[in-house]
Structure 1
Amino acid sequence: MRPGRLTAMLSYGSYVDGQDRPGTQWVYTVRASAMLRDFFGSVRTKRALESGQLAPEDAPEYVIGRSAVADPHEVEAALQSASRAADEWSAAPLATRLRLVEVFHELVREKHDEIVDLMIAEGHPSALARWEASGILANTAPETREFLASQMAHRVDTVQRELTVRRVADGVVCLNPPQNATIANVLLGIWALAAGNALVVRAPKSAPLGVMHILRELIAPALEAVGAPAAALSVLCSDAPATMRAWLESPLVDDVMYFGGSRQGIEFGAQCVAAGKKPVLELAGNDICVVWHDADLDLAAEALTEAFYGSGQICMVPNVAVVHPDVADELLAKVTARAAAIRPGYPEEPGTLLSPVLRTDLFKAVLDQALEGGAELVCGGRRLAVSGEVDEVGGLFLEPTVVRVDGLKQARDLEAVRHETFFPLLPVVVPAPEETEGLLETVIDFVNTNEYGLRNSLWTGDRAVVDRYVARVRGGGLLKVNDSHIGFLPVLPTHGGTGLTGGPGGEGNYPVLRTSHLQGVSVAYGVRPTEAVFADLDKKEASV
């Protein structure tokens, strides 16, 4: 912190080797509500601060913080210090590393309101900020910690040996969080640390403050509390292409956790493999929610409207609904009524669920392609001002939009069905009359042939349908039945998936498992080596 106005402004340098390194170049963060009220004025202020034309102590109150921009030397220094720390930290007992997660969980509870307020300041609607905070708590809950502890080591004692199957830290893990939900996703790094790795985080220059603040105020103190080396954590705000290239080229890096679009992510994963790094990919989702004829339609409609939360700019919302034709009209009416109540607003306002959308031209192209391909517009489709009024010229928000698509067979000809759109756009696919014979199997095949696989969900009152769905659906890191599609639960993975969501080898992501590797250990007492080598062979011969 600096004197004057900066006593109320967060200010973070690069964090390397346990030390704060002030920068000569800074990125300033402006409160999102100020950007909505006066976009051009806020941008002018931000640019004046970053160019040195406006002194930090003269910044208006809506400038909430600044982050130093790291240079290539600091990027390299972070890797060097992480490599040294990884050797020490990986040898710490598992109990100590799991205690780290427990301390972190307690700090999240203690600082819950602070975390939520910072998310809101960065533009997350208040309801979604609370949802994200609940995900952090579920991801580190006691039940989750207990389950993952059981996965990290298993020991069997025989008369002459201690046999252990354990997971060992990969080494240095680099984490590149997404720009749309930096805080919630970067905190997955606590589990990479719990595996015994050192963690290097790149805070995106477009939204660095939350990452810098939360890691410094939550993870760094937790590491200190359990006696871990401070250098086990490094946090930098740096240029993305140069930093990712440095990570790929460095012999010190073992794993890279990458968030982004599927096409770019799959390509980056291939580059990681070629460079001898393990890629842990969190890419696009295109989740399918199936609603059967005997579902509770009020609850199913409530779950489907989660598609519009954050204007659909959340990977784990339902992206496509497949609805039994017997209840399609009734369900669409219920979803339409709920969609009409979802409005834009400033992120601090309790009822706000929509976020600004910058690519409104692309939204229109996707919607037009769907309508030209035979989809029917049920509701929405227009641009809105922050007040909720229609503004087709300058509106930064989009109405929650529902289109009806008749027939499964041709549904994936539509971009809105085949790929994640990242818009408040929900295609509702209704099987055609000729598709009703053996419909459950047809719908399950439709789910299984989805190129993505983050989350899939089902609404039904028939246990036989539930059992068949769960037994047959192979895609997805998570399946939900008669439950919130986006809700977080202890023990179950919060991230990860199959297909274009997780790339080759993708699955439900527990970072403590994905950033470690299996190792078998035998500690013997009084065993003759020759007897050990031929023990099984002798037993087989004796039985013959």
Structure 2
Amino acid sequence: MVSTLIKTYKNFINGEWKNATTEHVEASINPADKFDIIGYVQKSSIVDLEQATYSAKEAHKQWKKLSAPVRGEYLYKVASQLEKNADDIAEVMTREMGKTLSEAKGETLRGVAILRYFAGEGMRSIGDVIPSTDNEALMFTTRVPIGVVGVITPWNFPVAIPLWKIAPALVYGNTVVFKPAQETAVTATKVIQCFEEAGLPKGVINMVTGSGAIIGQGIVEHPYINGITFTGSDEVGKLVGEGALARGAKYQLEMGGKNPVIVAEDADLDLAVEATISGGLRSTGQKCTATSRVLVHSGIYDEFKQKLLNKIKELKVGNGLNSDTWMGPCASENQLNSVLSFIQKGIQEGAKILHGGKQCDAEELRNGFFVEPTVFDNVKSNMKIAQEEIFGPVLALIKVDSLEDALDIANDVKYGLSASIFTTNISNILSFINEVDAGLLRINSESAGVELQAPFGGMKLSSSHSREQGQAAKEFFTAIKTIFIKR
């Protein structure tokens, strides 16, 4: 039964907040306390998506005619609104997704920086003058928007990921139909309110909530949508790519990771331990760049393992709103069950649990989806916990006898998103850079970490071989025109 005292959040279509054409809603639940309902989210129909795509198509006719600096000025205004509302948005994010309040605040402020960065991109060059073989001709290139862009995003970064897609889409002259993850749709609504408060023209940005099977698939198949940018699982990403390809739409996929950290024999162990814990367990391991496999040289394996366990035992698991909490809950009951299932698979395959491995049973955590930080020993590269993305606070320790072994194991997965190494040896560093198949490499730093001004994306099944963020973003959100003018 839907409580009339709890708000139902609406779609944003053509500059207005609208009820869906269906009466179906679902509760957005606090993963730290399943009895705390943040709000109700509409399960929209294809009719609602049709309204949004038509609005975006019509708005594009005028939006693309604005100069890029003018479009950038709108993004500066959105950034100011987001910054003004940062505390409220961060608190909603923590209640809705579970990450700690400090992480949520950091992500929101990162969203502010993303908006300002891409607002500035409106002042940058978008073309080149190219010498022509005809000395009486001028030849040059420019870039034009691709049209209406469908934005499909996950729940783990409900502010940063949508904004690093929406901001470049808009500044380069596209309009947007945005489908957020249902689990964090209230947070998404708070972000879209900032666009509304900034006064963007009607229809330039639209948001429709609902299931992936209806709204997500509808975006993939809709003839008005010229490009789709997706972040999520590789299984769904493949379907998005296939659907877009079938009708000739442009698509961009950012998907899973099974990210290794290599700890060489000469590593600073304290630094490596801190980075392994931060990279693997912050945000409850629910980052696509999170450390999952820890490849440690046999000569320092036992010392590293003991230092790691000593530090992990000090971590405080709890409600992300509490100031002393280091790690919050899994984002949903489904995610909790998935993580626990992977832990059981690890046990069945012969890996040994050194720490954790269970759902938290402390009385104050029983109403939430909390799992203990988990460390496995005796892990082999062919085990499921060393091959599949867990998306939870689970570290798999793998002993290696050489850097060559570590590099081979690092590459022995279907993903290639991020990787890191801890070493003081320049030869090790160069081998790592040259040999590891990943799009983001970090030396003496954790695997999780993306800077907004740098290209981001993966290799193998981690992406569609495109890159997001930084100036690389314009490659997806624009098309090149070559112009030849004869005197």
TM-score by length of 1: 0.78
2-side partners of 1:111 and 1:171: how far apart?
30
Paired residue type of 2:462: T
Deviations 1:162-199 (A, max 9, x none): 54333322111111221343333222212221221110
1-side partners of 2:115 and 2:268: how far apart?
32
Check conservation: 2:319, 2:328, Cα contact below 8 A.
Answer: no
Count of residues paired in the alignment: 474
2-side partners of 1:255 and 1:488: how far apart?
24
Check conservation: 2:293, 2:386, Cα contact below 8 A.
Answer: yes
Check conservation: 2:82, 2:191, Cα contact below 8 A.
Answer: no
- What is the aligned counterpart of 1:129 among 101, 104, 107? 104
Indicate the residue corresponding to 2:454 in structure 1.
Answer: 492
Indicate the residue corresponding to 2:151 in structure 1.
Answer: 175
- What is the aligned counterpart of 1:288 among 239, 260, 268? 260
- Compared with structure 1, are the counterparts of its residues 91 and 497 closer, same or farther at alpha carbon in structure 2 (3 Å cutoff)? farther
**1:344 is aligned to 2:302:** no
2-side partners of 1:95 and 1:160: how far apart?
32
1-side partners of 2:466 and 2:131: how far apart?
34
Check conservation: 1:115, 1:133, Cα contact below 8 A.
Answer: yes
- What is the aligned counterpart of 1:324 among 297, 319, 323? 297
Shift of 1:234: 0.7
1-side partners of 2:54 and 2:368: how far apart?
47
- Compared with structure 1, are the counterparts of its residues 71 and 396 closer, same or farther at alpha carbon in structure 2 (3 Å cutoff)? closer
**1:515 is aligned to 2:476:** yes
Shift of 1:487: 3.1
Check conservation: 2:346, 2:384, Cα contact below 8 A.
Answer: yes
SS state of the match for residue 280, structure 1?
strand
- Compared with structure 1, are the counterparts of its residues 86 and 21 closer, same or farther at alpha carbon in structure 2 (3 Å cutoff)? same
2-side partners of 1:465 and 1:148: how far apart?
41
- What is the aligned counterpart of 2:216 among 216, 220, 244? 244
Indicate the residue corresponding to 2:10 in structure 1.
Answer: 13
- Compared with structure 1, are the counterparts of its residues 386 and 93 closer, same or farther at alpha carbon in structure 2 (3 Å cutoff)? farther
Question: Within 5 Å, which residues of 2 pair with 1:243-392?
Answer: 243-306=215-278, 307-352=280-325, 353-356=327-330, 358=333, 362-385=338-361, 387=363
Check conservation: 1:498, 1:506, Cα contact below 8 A.
Answer: no
Paired residue type of 2:191: I
Check conservation: 2:232, 2:254, Cα contact below 8 A.
Answer: yes
Which has the larger displacement, 130-139 or 347-356? 130-139
Indicate the residue corresponding to 1:542 in structure 2.
Answer: none
**1:459 is aligned to 2:459:** no
Shift of 1:322: 1.2
Deviations 1:30-56 (A, max 9, x none): 6627x62xx4xx3xxxxxxxxxxxxxx
2-side partners of 1:192 and 1:386: how far apart?
46
Paired residue type of 1:293: E
Shift of 1:259: 2.8
More helix by share: 1
- Pair member with larger Rg: 1
Please report the RMSD computed on the Cα atoms of aligned residues, expressed in angstroms: 3.1
**1:419 is aligned to 2:388:** yes
Which has the larger displacement, 22-31 or 203-212? 22-31
Paired residue type of 2:247: A
**1:480 is aligned to 2:442:** yes
Paired residue type of 1:338: K
1-side partners of 2:429 and 2:64: how far apart?
42
2-side partners of 1:141 and 1:153: how far apart?
22
Which has the larger displacement, 231-240 or 513-522? 513-522
- Compared with structure 1, are the counterparts of its residues 361 and 242 closer, same or farther at alpha carbon in structure 2 (3 Å cutoff)? closer
Indicate the residue corresponding to 2:67 in structure 1.
Answer: 93
Structure 2 residue runs without a partner (length 5+): none
2-side partners of 1:214 and 1:133: how far apart?
9
Paired residue type of 1:75: L
Paired residue type of 1:139: I
Check conservation: 2:115, 2:163, Cα contact below 8 A.
Answer: no
- Compared with structure 1, are the counterparts of its residues 459 and 155 closer, same or farther at alpha carbon in structure 2 (3 Å cutoff)? farther
1-side partners of 2:177 and 2:70: how far apart?
20
Check conservation: 2:71, 2:173, Cα contact below 8 A.
Answer: yes
- Compared with structure 1, are the counterparts of its residues 429 and 508 closer, same or farther at alpha carbon in structure 2 (3 Å cutoff)? farther
Shift of 1:304: 0.8
Check conservation: 2:146, 2:479, Cα contact below 8 A.
Answer: no
SS state of the match for residue 496, structure 1?
coil
2-side partners of 1:426 and 1:355: how far apart?
16
Structure 1 residue runs without a partner (length 5+): 43-61, 527-544
2-side partners of 1:420 and 1:518: how far apart?
34
Shift of 1:291: 1.5
Paired residue type of 2:305: L
Q: Percent identity?
A: 22
Which has the larger displacement, 20-29 or 420-429? 20-29
Paired residue type of 1:18: G
